[in-house]
Amino acid sequence: MNTITPVLLCGGSGTRLWPLSRKSYPKQFANLLGDETLFQASARRLSGAAYAPPVVVTASDFRFIVTEQLHGVGIDPGAILIEPAGRNTAPAVLAAACHIAASDPDGLMLVAPSDHVIPDAQAFGAAVTAGVAAAQAGQLVTFGITPTQAETGYGYLELVDPPQGTTPAPLKRFVEKPDQTRAEAMLKDAHFMWNAGIFLFRASDIIAAFKTHATALLEPVSSAYAQAKADLGFLRLDPEHWARAEDISIDYAVMEKADNLSVVPFSAGWSDLGGWDAVWAETGPDANGVATSENATAIACHDTLLRSESAALEVVGIGLENTIVVAMPDAVLVADKSRAQDVKLAVAALKEKSALQAESFPKDHRPWGWFESLVIGQRFQVKRIHVHPGAALSLQSHHHRSEHWIVVEGTARVTVDETVKLVSENQSVYIPLGATHRMENPGKVPMVLIEVQTGSYLGEDDIIRYEDVYARD
């Protein structure tokens, strides 16, 4: 079998899994099910002898998270394409196809969202293998999931004939998300499968499909790729050309219009984790239908999900039925399980009132590590800062605040104006207002410090950068 290039799409915001998933740190990067993130599981599932290094299409804010998480599971990334703005899946797939076609026009590419759960990686690999011959023959191959319930949250695929094992079958049409009555009817009809949004085709074939069915996308996206700029191992698509690309899904732009589609049936388990009810199901509820995290306790509950995402916050539910409770350090969700799809309404309501919790995550992830605010007052803020081994913050200064750093783990190399010194555990250093400063971790273990800021303005935009190894503005 020819080597397949995985194309991992990871630019979504995952509002239906708020408060764990937010715009600043969406669900694919979170530990929803175990110690491995959904993005890491997707990359690992599409690795091995049959696959080339992955091409990742993501947003600029996530570029360092992508590389860190890939390295965390021992996978070297291929290309990481940076979208200047979200434009849905059609432009993203076309940009990846342009990149692959530049070196191998007939190269096979497997397009997959990075936030799905497929427990049986071996069975999925067999399904991909089953679709290779059809893709090499010029078919656009999609993967259909055998329905297990009358699901109204998924689109469906209608096959010409009922599926036979994993043999590719001709596709008759795409079906939009149905109402409950229609979903129940399709569940009983063997011609219908869930649309997983996973595709296999040659780069040249999908580019040809865009030329035929979505001509208006071809010029701006191909130009955005042709004029892309290399940046620290990333490839930034040109923003001016990219801005002219329509915001549209690959289904609407191409797949629903093409006549060369085949479906590979897959029945070994799949979920897009599109809501907390799906997480409840994948977590493995007990005999009473209760699923709990490590820091949650259920007493006389039924059909309930209880999660705490903080070791310092214990969640206890008593007598709950059909309930979702998810607690973060800065926000708590309580919802009827039947209303799981309406969590996005909560995000909209919080945005309306300008609540930071609508989109911002408690931990702010940066290329050098992360920080979180512990206490915020009118003229002071206390942060915990975690710096990876060998990493360094930018050389910077502030107009409105001074800082006091106390190292609590590891050793920091600290620059304050012309002075450079090592600061060890239980030692501290003062950064006066306006001083040029930097912290680095010269060691082999993470460095953690407590930062106390005081001043008239404490926003993250009060930073003047003079040098930055990560080439940030």
The per-residue pLDDT for range 92-123, each reduced to its tens digit, is: 999 999 999 999 999 999 999 999 999 999 99
393 within a domain of the structure (yes/no) = yes
Task: Tell me the mean pLDDT in the region 161-178.
Answer: 89
- What burial class does residue 438 get, using C-beta atoms within 10 Å of its C-beta: 0-12 exposed, 13-18 middle, 19+ buried? buried
93 and 169 both lie in a single domain: yes
Q: Say if residue 281's pLDDT is above 90.
A: yes
Residue 111 lies in a domain: yes
Rounded to the nearest integer, the mean pLDDT of the chain is 93
Residues 202 and 345 in one domain: no
Whether residue 358 lies inside any domain: the answer is: no
- Checking if the pLDDT of 2 tops 90, the result is no
Q: 448 lies in a domain? A: yes
Q: Residue 473: inside a domain, yes or no?
A: no
Regarding whether 370 and 257 lie in a shared domain, the answer is no
Of the given ranges (218-232, 357-371, 418-432, 446-460), which has the lowest mean pLDDT? 357-371
**Residue pLDDT, tens place only, 399-433:** 999 999 999 999 999 999 999 999 999 999 999 99
Residue 245 phi, psi dihedral angles, 5° rounding:
-80, 135
Domain range holding 317? Answer: 276-351
Angle between helices 89-103 and 203-213 (to 10 degrees): 130
Query: Is the preceding peptide bond at 53 cis, omega within 30 degrees of 0?
Result: no
Q: Are 88 and 206 in the same domain?
A: yes
Same domain, 231 and 281: no
Regarding whether 283 and 260 lie in a shared domain, the answer is: no
pLDDT digits (tens, 9 = 90+) for 171-218: 999 998 888 999 999 999 999 999 999 999 999 999 999 999 999 999
pLDDT over 60 (residue 305): yes
Q: Are residues 259 and 280 in the same domain?
A: no
Q: Quick check: 346 pLDDT over 90? A: yes
Angle at which helices 121-136 and 38-45 pack, to 10 degrees? Answer: 60
Looking at 351, 371, 402, the residue that finishes a domain is 351
Of 105, 119, 338, 83, whose CA–CA distance to 220 is shortest?
A: 83
Whether residues 339 and 375 share a domain: the answer is no
State which H helix or E strand residue 126 sits in: helix 121-136
Same domain? For 262 and 293 the reply is no
| Number of domains comprising the chain | 3
pLDDT at 473: 61
* pLDDT score of 78 more than 60: yes
Q: What is the pLDDT of residues 127-157, one digit of tens each?
A: 999 999 999 999 999 999 999 988 888 899 9
Last residue of a domain, which of 266, 285, 304?
A: 266
- Residue 233 is predicted with a pLDDT of 83
CATH code, domain carrying 133: 3.90.550.10
One domain for residues 225 and 261: yes
Residue 3, φ and ψ in degrees, nearest 5: -65, 135
Domain of 376, CATH number, reads 2.60.120.10
Asked whether residue 101 falls in the same domain as residue 54, the answer is yes
* Residues 456, 321 within the same domain: no
Of the chain, the percentage scoring pLDDT greater than 90 comes to 77
What is the rounded CA–CA span in Å between residue 285 and residue 280?
Answer: 7
Distance CA 146, CA 269 (A): 8
Query: How far apart, in whole angstroms, are the C-alpha atoms of residue 80 and residue 96?
Result: 9
Question: Is 93 part of a structural domain of the chain?
Answer: yes
pLDDT confidence tier of residue 355, bands split at 50, 70 and 90: very high
